[in-house]
Amino acid sequence: MLDGTRIRTLEDFWHAMGEAVNGPGGYFGRNLDAFADCHSGGFGTPDDGDFVVEWRDHEESRAHLGHAETARQLEIRLTRCHPTNRPAVGADLVAARGGRGTTVFDRLIEIFGERAPGVLRLR
């Protein structure tokens, strides 16, 4: 179970998701690509592959993982990405700062839907 009242940053989400699936100190990705891999590659999922994630108070998380948090994450990514990716990341950053584009929350929901259909329960 994810407690949406405790997820205010993407880092909070990684921590909460890791513990929800794999117990205290558990890992379930630390970036969007790793998170997607955990769902589809068997990395970090329970051995039987049978799990459900209930995200309570997800609307609160949606607000915190909106455009401001997306911009913060893109600023971090811009300092680390390959130079050829900087124009695209920079454009995404401009959009996020303007309250436009896909948010971190949106992308997490997309990954659940693409890589683990039926696993997520929003409450």
Q: Residue 46 above 90 pLDDT? A: no
Angle subtended at Cα 49 by Cα 44 and Cα 55, rounded to the nearest 5 degrees: 75
- Locate the domains of the chain by residue range: 2-66+103-122
Mean pLDDT of all residues belonging to the chain? 91
- Taking the C-alpha atoms of residue 51 and residue 90, their distance in angstroms, rounded to an integer, is 37
**The architecture CATH gives domain 2-66+103-122:** 2-Layer Sandwich (3.30)
Instruction: Return the structure tokens found at 2.
Output: 């994810």
Per-residue pLDDT reduced to its tens digit, 79-114: 999 999 999 999 999 999 999 999 999 999 999 999
Identify the pLDDT of residue 48: 56
